[in-house]
Amino acid sequence: MWDDYVIEGTFGAPSPVERVLVVIVPSQRDWELVQHERWYRIPVARAPARLAAEYLAFYHTSKMEERWSICHYAPVRGYRLCKRRELLPAEANHPRAEQAYYKIELGPLETLPQPIPSLKLRRITFIATTMERLLQARDVSELWEHDSRTDQLRRVLAISDWLWWQYY
């Protein structure tokens, strides 16, 4: 049942408009899974609205050697829906063992030309960005699409909603 849902693809060299999802690497064990087994997990209940991406970039937390920075990315090869106990059989008794997770299968890990530090922000969950922003950023805060068309539409809708309430 859980293994029936698989999306696979093959990707070439990155183009500037390709989507990148920045994800956190909370522990050395999780980083080893990315490096050696080439997969990353996201709980379905905590997944971002914009999960689909051609690449994942990895933000290292304070527990990592390259803390508070992004140094690596990898192409996404496929998405699989699994239970946590299937992903981590050694943790079959974990409290979330029966919860659904996205297993994101990865291609080879790439190193960014220059690390992207987080000079001010420390708590990051997911950042949807583009390959162009990832390759040009000098700070993590530059990865957000601050003035995307979606942001502009949200602003217009918020203003129109506010105006509607002013008259009724």
**pLDDT tens track for 128-162:** 999 999 999 999 999 987 656 665 665 556 555 44
pLDDT by residue, tens only, the chain of 168 residues: 334 444 444 445 556 679 999 999 989 999 999 999 999 999 999 999 889 999 999 998 877 777 789 999 999 999 999 999 999 999 999 999 999 999 999 999 999 999 999 988 667 889 999 999 999 999 999 998 765 666 566 555 655 544 444 444
What is the pLDDT, as a whole number, of residue 164?
46
Tally of domains in the chain: 1
The CATH number of the domain where 136 resides is what? 2.30.130.30
What is the pLDDT, as a whole number, of residue 96?
94
Query: Rounded CA gap, 51 and 128, in Å?
Result: 8
Query: Rounded CA gap, 45 and 100, in Å?
Result: 8
Give pTM, 2 decimals.
0.77
Domain that holds residue 90: 2-167
What is the pLDDT, as a whole number, of residue 65?
74
